[in-house]
A and B are shown apart, each in its own frame.
Chain A
Amino acid sequence: MKNNRFLPVLVALVVIILLGAAFYFVRPHTFHGTVYQSAEEAPNFTLNVANGKTVKLSDFRGKIVLVYFGYTFCPDVCPATLGVVTQALKDLGAKADEVQVIMISVDPGRDTPEKLAEYVKHFHPTFIGGTNTPEEIASIASLYGIFYEVSGQTTSNGDYLIDHTATLMAIDRDGFLKVVFPFGITSDELADDLKYTLR
């Protein structure tokens, strides 16, 4: 019976390794943005989109909605972020149908619904771009924590620039704010989080 002395130790070791492996494989998904446990739906909003139509956030229950605040004159930050989103949707394949991207203009003075539609089409055919009155935009942006202002800088064409908070927000199928992604998220990271949320 000499061999049996070490058997309990061996059994304990195997159990510990199995527990470790189990934890590794079922560990909670680590999001690449900040996760929220909101107790209420994200603030609803109405946007004027191309062809005289309007859309509301609440029209998209059942889909993951990615909300982004930007403007069509935006030289670098907005195209970069929308490009990352486009790539992430490609990585999702057919599942991308369950994601709706909405860009809200922080430049209601220059961005018309038609201009926004034309702009977002360059990134993805399903993207929606919308605007509203300056007062409504100020209110929507505030409730999504988005600060924006006309910056002192202009482009070489003399167009003014707008500084704005560049976060990307994911609203879940039930309309609750789920994740806030910082500027600089990669398409792989975004696709990873979207796949998990869409599972």
Chain B
Amino acid sequence: MKHSLLARIFYGFAALLVVSAFAFKIIQPIKVLPRIRLSPAFSLTDQNGERVTNEDLRGKIVLYTFTYTNCPAPCANLDATMQDVYARLDEANLGEIPFVRVTVSFDPARDTPSTLKSYADGLSANRATWVFATTDDEALLKTIIGVGFKAYYEKKADGSYAFDPTFILVDGWGTIRGEYRYSTEVSTADRILRHLSVLADEVHNATGSAKLAYEAAHLFLCYAK
């Protein structure tokens, strides 16, 4: 049985399509985290009474959260998520990329370095992997946390704070890549870890010609869920 020329071309293309579809399925399209906006600059004092700035954290992936140590029970969830992410960090395949957690207190009057230190010790937090910090400059602190990180907090008359529990993921270039403000069915730690692995893939793979594919993924908004 002889096929006409046109039919053979047609079958050829059909085969090519099927092969491409399989290749697409196997290779998987690249997913990225959006470059949301610049992470704010800051100079804070940590639990050891030493200065920590955004420039010190350049080159590291940083997970921020915002709280105060006098916070009643619900804030423990923030600490638990920070601990959970760190305990399961292997899932993110960060490799050699340094990762640091930073808890910023919006209550500098009570959260002095020594208070932060004993709070950190209570969580067995090591300064190298978990920084607790704040600054006495309350106006600037409000700009950094409230405007820069867009994490709402407000002091109430009784000295406690109303605030929205927030986690912010920042890459090594000082760009905000993930914001976690609302509870979903998926735990926040699960989402953060999945996003960390997407970010690690980009850091590891977006070099040479593959960079073009990653930039295209940014351009076409191929964002990870």
Which residues of chain A from 52 to 107 have any CB-CB distance to chain B below 8 Å in the complex? Answer: none
**A interface bracket (residues with beta carbon within 8 Å of B):** 20 to 34
Query: Does A46 interact with chain B (Cβ within 8 Å)?
Result: no
The chain B residue with its CB closest to the CB of A176 is B37
How many residues of B are in contact with the other chain, CB < 8 A? 36
The chain A residue with its CB closest to the CB of B38 is A145
CB neighbours (8 Å) of A40 from chain B are 37
**Chain A nearest CB: distance from B100 CB in Å?**
16
B35 touching A37, Cβ below 8 Å? yes
**Chain A nearest CB: distance from B216 CB in Å?**
5
Query: Does B121 interact with chain A (Cβ within 8 Å)?
Result: no
A180 touching B38, Cβ below 8 Å? yes
Task: Give bound CA distance, A145 to B218, whole Å.
Answer: 21
Taking a contact as CB atoms closer than 8 A, the residue among A36, A39, A141 that contacts B41 in the complex is A141
Binary contact readout A119-151 vs B (1 if CB under 8 angstroms, 0 otherwise): 000000000000000010011011111111100
A34 touching B175, Cβ below 8 Å? yes
Given contacts A142-B40, A142-B148, are A36 and B9 in contact (CB under 8 A)? Answer: no
Taking a contact as CB atoms closer than 8 A, the residue among A12, A28, A43, A145 that contacts B215 in the complex is A28
B41 touching A147, Cβ below 8 Å? yes
CB neighbours (8 Å) of B54 from chain A are 145, 147
Binary contact readout B31-63 vs A (1 if CB under 8 angstroms, 0 otherwise): 000111111111100000000011100000000
Total contacts A-B at CB 8 Å: 89
A177 touching B221, Cβ below 8 Å? no
Taking a contact as CB atoms closer than 8 A, the residue among B34, B40, B221 that contacts A145 in the complex is B40
Given contacts A4-B5, A12-B12, A30-B215, are A147 and B53 in contact (CB under 8 A)? Answer: yes
Partner-binding segment picked from B71-79, B139-147, B158-166: B139-147
A30 touching B211, Cβ below 8 Å? yes
- 15 A-B residue pairings within 8 Å (CB atoms): A7-B5, A12-B16, A30-B212, A31-B215, A35-B35, A36-B175, A40-B37, A135-B139, A138-B137, A141-B41, A142-B144, A144-B41, A147-B54, A177-B37, A180-B38
Given contacts A36-B35, A40-B37, 17 further A-B contacts (CB under 8 A): A12-B9, A35-B35, A35-B219, A36-B175, A37-B218, A37-B221, A135-B139, A138-B140, A138-B143, A139-B139, A142-B40, A143-B38, A143-B148, A144-B41, A145-B41, A147-B53, A180-B175
